[in-house]
Structure 1
Amino acid sequence: MISRRSFTAVLAGSAALAALPAMSQTASSLERIKSSGVLRIGAVADGAPYYQKSIADGSWRGFYIDICKKLADDLGVALEITETTWGNSVLGLQANKLDVFFGLNPTPERQKVIDFSGPCFKNAFSLVTDAEDNRQTWADFNDPDTRIAVDAGSSHDTAVSKHCPDAQVVRLKSQSDATASLQANRADTQCLVLILALTLVAKNPGIGKVVIPSPNDATTSNAGFRREDDTAWKDYVTAWIEEQRTNGFVRQAVIDNMALVGVTEDDFPEGFDI
């Protein structure tokens, strides 16, 4: 179990490494967090259910807020939240304005400039389809007569191209364009990651239902870090995340905060996992 004692032990090792002549004189993230007593994270104001900032009082909610609060509590430090955007979060890490940002997929381009934890949760590729559609596998949808809408060049596009090469892939400029195509009956189904698919159906109940086709395939949502020689901070958070996944905390945080977008636990389709 990752405790404050083990955190202190990791910090001691990090400090010893920092004393070596070959190491940079700049304090590592792990050292800075412990010495300052503050964990600095970024959050996206309109990023529900990941993040959400209250217009009324400026308070924050979201499953990554809950996760970061627990991380700070387990470290014995205060949590400092800086508003950012998905696009600017990487810049915030590189500029050492943030210690960690949760909610990034480790794309090849991002991996060139920042480091990543292991998966915080798996976001399964799903299909929003007609409520009467009984198909359950990718093979069922891999039909020349089936039109699958995706936002071109996205991970959704990649998943459909991989699993349904024989289907008609309707590639649109954006997710909203793909949804409009589905609503206008120019497509039979739309591919989205589970969080987005559940949110879409909650907002538009008449659009259909969510299916997680088997075999399950997913992208991941990870924590990002400033790249530095001392990997103790990244290693600590990676191990901490794995523990929270194993004990069910991450799964419950995701389910609880889906209420921010009108989704209940009963709305999760069969086969949901993190």
Structure 2
Amino acid sequence: MVSRRLVGSAAGLALAMAATAATPASAQAQAAETTFDRIRRTKKLRANAVAGAAPYYHKDLATGQWRGFYIDLLKMLAEELEVELELGETTWGNAVLDLQSNKIDIFFGLNPTPKRALVVDFSVPCFSNAFSFITKRGFAAKTWDELNRPEVKLAVDLGSSQDQVVTRLCPKAQVARFKSADEATIAVQTGRADAQCLVLILALSAKKKNPALGDVIVPTPVFATTSNAGFRREADKTWRDYVNTWIEFNKGLGAVRSAIVTNMELVGISESDFPPGVTL
């Protein structure tokens, strides 16, 4: 005869085992939630911006408010999704890490490189941007070969696409790497570097803000990159595909170009400032 106490203990053990078995499955199901599903469920779109990167991103230090054409695109995207935009701050060098660690859902302004493509996904291009340099006064160079010399000191922001292109195209030059693009610009302004590599829109903006700098040059041959959105790598591509559709749709309507041109004007740049033969 089996005692009621034994039956009760066995039943309790079975329930405990069932609960234990269910917990990992539940956690696994929650962990498997896709980015797109999480955005739809929470009604929040998480993104980061980069201070001092006008006209891409600009933070008003007095009010804490963000402006810039990627801010406009993020707001437009959040409105389309009917969600709230949650905006944090990062650097160009840390943006990929933010995506990998699932701190954010999207980052606008990444140049797709093979190294980055190993760890994150990219959207279709928003626009094209030529690699250029801002120089100290008196420094002249017209070609990449003239920049690729042992006596030339170049400044870049660490981990950026500019860092990668200078590393690849100017192996003979002295390269100083700084935490931010602003620090690299100061190095040029103070004469500690001959030139800073930036994509053209950022170079024109830096020159407008600081007339004491030298020239903006686009060395020949012209090398350009595209500016894209980046995403955390995941098996489900619904989020990436949705943003691709959204970008293409709004490019077709002229909304993306309008956001870019309007915000360039905010920092005193117009398309007439672009060197001959170089366009967005």
Instruction: Give the TM-score normalised by structure 1.
Output: 0.68
| Partner SS state of residue 205, structure 1 | coil
Q: CA RMSD, aligned part only?
A: 3.9
Tell me the residue number matched to 2:244: 238
Tell me the residue number matched to 1:66: 72
Aligned length: 245
Tell me the residue number matched to 2:8: none
Counterpart code for 2:216: V
After superposition, the C-alpha distances for 1:134-185 in whole angstroms (9 at most, x for unaligned) are: 98x748x6499997542378754665677789xx845334465677457749
Corresponding position: 1:83 with 2:88:
yes
- CA positional deviation for 1:45: 4.1
After superposition, the C-alpha distances for 1:199-232 in whole angstroms (9 at most, x for unaligned) are: 2211232434334345431133321212222101
Q: Distance in 1 between matches of 2:191 and 2:61?
A: 34
Q: Is the 8 A contact 1:127 1:192 kept in 2?
A: yes
Corresponding position: 1:150 with 2:146:
no
Counterpart code for 1:216: V
Tell me the residue number matched to 1:227: 233
Q: Distance in 2 between matches of 1:42 and 1:158?
A: 22
Residues 1:147 and 1:241: Cα distance change in structure 2 (over 3 Å): farther
Residues 1:203 and 1:221: Cα distance change in structure 2 (over 3 Å): same
Tell me the residue number matched to 1:37: 43
| Partner SS state of residue 216, structure 1 | coil
Q: Distance in 2 between matches of 1:216 and 1:177?
A: 22
Corresponding position: 1:116 with 2:122:
yes
After superposition, the C-alpha distances for 1:44-102 in whole angstroms (9 at most, x for unaligned) are: 34443222233343332111110111222233x12322312125544443443422121
**CA radius of gyration, larger in:** 2
Corresponding position: 1:255 with 2:261:
yes
Q: Distance in 1 between matches of 2:118 and 2:189?
A: 36
Q: Distance in 1 between matches of 2:113 and 2:163?
A: 15
Corresponding position: 1:105 with 2:133:
no
Q: Is the 8 A contact 1:212 1:271 kept in 2?
A: no
Corresponding position: 1:27 with 2:33:
yes
- CA positional deviation for 1:245: 3.5
Identity value in percent:
46
Q: Which moves more between the two structures, 66-75 or 95-104?
A: 95-104
Tell me the residue number matched to 1:17: none
| Partner SS state of residue 271, structure 1 | coil
Counterpart code for 1:85: T
- Runs of 5+ in structure 2 lacking a partner? 1-27
Tell me the residue number matched to 2:17: none
Q: Distance in 2 between matches of 1:271 and 1:183?
A: 31
Q: Indicate which of 208, 226, 237 corresponds to 1:202.
A: 208
Q: Distance in 1 between matches of 2:149 and 2:121?
A: 42
Tell me the residue number matched to 1:268: 274
Q: Is the 8 A contact 2:264 2:270 kept in 1?
A: yes
Residues 1:252 and 1:134: Cα distance change in structure 2 (over 3 Å): farther
| Partner SS state of residue 219, structure 1 | strand
Q: Distance in 2 between matches of 1:261 and 1:34?
A: 35
Q: Is the 8 A contact 2:47 2:85 kept in 1?
A: yes
Q: Is the 8 A contact 2:184 2:196 kept in 1?
A: no
Q: Indicate which of 139, 151, 175 corresponds to 1:171.
A: 175
